[in-house]
Structure 1
Amino acid sequence: MEPLRQWQIGFKDVGSADIEPEGKQQHRLEIFNVVDQGSSYWLHAEVRHDFTAETVIEALVHAMQRWGVPQQITLDRDPRFVGSPQGSDFCSALLRFGSCLNIDMYVCDPQHPEQNAYVERFHRTLKQECLQVERPSTAGQTQQALTTFETFYNHERPHQGRALLDRPPAEQLRETSPLPALPTAVDPLAWLHHEPQQVFRRRVDAAGRIKLDLKRYYVGKAWRGQLITVHLNAAEATLVLLGEGQILKVLPVPAWSKSALPFAEYVQQIQEQARAEHRLRSLQERRQRVRALSSS
């Protein structure tokens, strides 16, 4: 495969670092890594105590500002990548972001880390040859260790991969054509073109509303307590509400704009969606802890 076109992303804990408290929560220090599948080149790394879906999007933007937009990104099922386990009917903010940039977002199957093998292999190397040697205890120390190791890993260290044959990854990039730059504007509904034709069943609540993808839609009090069907028409970006064989309403899929947004504005809006997903996941986790305590 041609270098730079396919990326793999993932998190690596910094086991020697202090855990940073925030209220009742404790945050591990993590490194978000981007590795090129075609050359094993370590493209990007960011160190934070507070990685969320929102800050992952920010980190990916930084990587693309440096390298351009890849054709594919492979990722595991970390909730910060794929969203909340319950409550969201469509793909996560990160997956929408990638789709709107026309990136093939490949989500690994459950319990199959070999599908993200390049970043997994890199994480073993990073742990054995950098983190366990330097044993950083702060974000600053970790970043300093990574900066030094990046030069060695990419430009000096012989790589065992079949495509490299004991050469450093940088040698694979010498004659590689650059990736397309980030767009100046983004269609916020472009992700729908990658969605299948979905059908949902919803029961109308006492206020005459249904809930779909973290939002509520008014159907009518005459339908209270009844099941209705919602069809996603991706081609027209609409939700078709059906009850007893008749069309009740045709609603637009919620979007911040029906036309393309400047890239920076689009990123702000998709990060807002990511924050909503993070709040939902935090609420679900709190409820699970409460249930576990009450049943013990």
Structure 2
Amino acid sequence: MADADKNRVIVLAVVEGGLSVAEAAQRFKVSRRWIYALLTRYRAEGVAGLEPRSRAPRTSPQATPAPVRARIVELRDALTGEGLDAGAESIADRLAREDLTVPATSTIWRILREGERVTAQPRKRPRSSWTRFEAATPNGCWQSDMTHWHLADATEVEIISWLDDHSRFLLHISVHAVVTAPIVTTTFLTTAREHGLPASTLTDDGLIYTTRFANYKGGPNHFEHVIASLGVKQKNGHPGHPQTQGKIERFHQTLKKWLAARPDADTIDAMQHVLHTFQHVYNHERPHRSLARRTPAEAYTALPKDQPSIELLERHWRVRHDIVDPGGTITVRWAGKLRHLGIGRAHRGTDIVLLMAGRDTLVIDRTTGEIIAEHHLDETRDYQPKKHQRPLPKEGPL
């Protein structure tokens, strides 16, 4: 018997059949409290009051407050409009910054589905099945690649980026009419002067990065020569397998989504300004899922940086690229403090390679390959004078 029919039978048995409440409860195997409730509803609403009602609680103290629900939908629309990630975790980050109640990510997704802001993707591969690889420390590996974009007049341009593999920190991004091997080298060296040299690089097999996969008879290109001279290990993905450079490939998706949400720039200079804005947002305002919801800038500065090294004279030498300042010195951090290494004013502006092994240094002119200074560091001094070269003995009479 359906619940509605049973409720009517119970009430009619009491009201018209003359059964007492106790007799009806015994006969229909229900509680007397339930019968009294049915009689109250019958007297107030008639037969319609006997229809089954929802057993859900009328109030839920743990329900997401209406203002928070509305803000979740607003944030979804705002982030999508700005070309930024608008997933549940990104929304949760924004709610926390605004000191609002932060529901579980599953609750946020449910609110977005109810608001018709997401479409179910049942065939999407679960993130738990992904295998992640990353450098253990900042500057352990830099990934780089170029991608295509356009100006407002449909002129094609190319964008090159350098991304730290460990932290996803965007080290460099610039736009050019065409990205060439010399531009790759220039952007690498400029980035290295600001952030230090990486221990290795990871790129695809494009000719601007390597000639190893192209049967090129001219030998290594300009970029390959430079990083080899600096002790930086070069790694390249296999041809036709972009997944090896997955971080930079995924980064370009984020970049293009952000650019597509904005008016196209009229000139390359204007485009570069837009990219600098994106670089700040990406590094400092956008927490990353794979970084435990930290920003790339926070992850990049959380650990000591790695650096290249080479074996020379049976010793392990750290390698650094630098330029001699106008005062004829370079600055390094050693034994917990900044030290100024004297090179000589005659070498100011010189592009140098600094090799360090313990207390000893070698400073090499990158253009000529000449050793222009050596030092034996003293922890009690800030300024470190270079070793004096002993003059060659004068030749005696024949």
CA distance in 2, matches of 1:64, 1:264: 17
CA apart distance, 1:165: 2.2
Structure 2 residue identity aligned to 1:153: Y
Are 1:182 and 2:285 counterparts?
A: no
Question: Which residue, out of 279, 302, 311, partners 1:150?
Answer: 279
Where has structure 1 moved over 6 Å in runs of 4 or more? Answer: none
Q: Kindly, what percent of the aligned residue pairs are identical?
A: 25
Residue 58 of structure 1 aligns to a residue whose secondary structure is helix
Higher RCO structure (Cα 8 Å, ≥6 apart): 1
Question: Which residue, out of 160, 166, 173, partners 1:45?
Answer: 173
Partner of 1:120: 249
Partner of 2:204: 76
Partner of 2:372: none
Residue 208 of structure 2 aligns to a residue whose secondary structure is helix
Question: Which residue, out of 140, 146, 152, partners 1:11?
Answer: 146
Structure richer in strand, relative to its length: 1
Residue 62 of structure 1 aligns to a residue whose secondary structure is helix
Residue 40 of structure 1 aligns to a residue whose secondary structure is coil
Residue 144 of structure 2 aligns to a residue whose secondary structure is strand
TM-score by length of 1: 0.56
Q: How many residues align?
A: 185
Asked which structure has the greater CA Rg, the reply is 2
Change (3 A) 1:265 1:71: same
CA distance in 2, matches of 1:37, 1:69: 13
CA distance in 2, matches of 1:15, 1:132: 14
Q: Are the aligned partners of 1:5 and 1:72 in contact in 2 as well (CA < 8 Å)?
A: yes
Change (3 A) 1:145 1:264: farther
CA distance in 1, matches of 2:368, 2:144: 24
Question: Which residue, out of 163, 177, 182, partners 1:35?
Answer: 163
Q: Are the aligned partners of 2:200 and 2:235 in contact in 1 as well (CA < 8 Å)?
A: yes
Change (3 A) 1:87 1:152: closer
CA distance in 1, matches of 2:260, 2:140: 28
Q: Structure 1, residues 225-247: CA drift from partner, whole Å, max 9, x if none?
A: xxxxxxxxxxxxxxxxxxxxxxx
Question: Which residue, out of 277, 282, 300, partners 1:173?
Answer: 300
Structure 1 residue identity aligned to 2:207: P
CA apart distance, 1:264: 5.5
Residue 159 of structure 2 aligns to a residue whose secondary structure is strand
Q: Structure 1, residues 59-90: CA drift from partner, whole Å, max 9, x if none?
A: 11111111111001001111111239354253
Change (3 A) 1:45 1:264: farther
Map 1:75-224 → 2, pairs under 5 A? 75-83=203-211, 85-88=214-217, 90-161=219-290, 164-178=291-305, 181-182=320-321, 185=352
Q: Structure 1, residues 241-271: CA drift from partner, whole Å, max 9, x if none?
A: xxxxxxxxxxxxxxxxxxx9623667xxxxx
Q: Are the aligned partners of 1:159 and 1:166 in contact in 2 as well (CA < 8 Å)?
A: yes
Structure 2 residue identity aligned to 1:147: H
Are 1:263 and 2:366 counterparts?
A: yes
Structure 2 residue identity aligned to 1:262: D
Residue 10 of structure 1 aligns to a residue whose secondary structure is strand
Residue 175 of structure 1 aligns to a residue whose secondary structure is coil
Structure 2 residue identity aligned to 1:92: N
CA apart distance, 1:18: 4.4
Structure 1 residue identity aligned to 2:284: H
CA apart distance, 1:93: 2.3
Q: Are the aligned partners of 2:137 and 2:306 in contact in 1 as well (CA < 8 Å)?
A: no
Q: Are the aligned partners of 1:67 and 1:179 in contact in 2 as well (CA < 8 Å)?
A: no
Q: Are the aligned partners of 1:83 and 1:93 in contact in 2 as well (CA < 8 Å)?
A: no
CA distance in 2, matches of 1:265, 1:50: 30
Q: Structure 1, residues 15-60: CA drift from partner, whole Å, max 9, x if none?
A: 345466xxxxxxx311110001000111111211132111211111
CA distance in 2, matches of 1:119, 1:58: 19
Structure 2 residue identity aligned to 1:50: V
Moved more, 174-183 or 28-37: 174-183
Moved more, 28-37 or 9-18: 9-18
Q: Are the aligned partners of 1:8 and 1:119 in contact in 2 as well (CA < 8 Å)?
A: yes
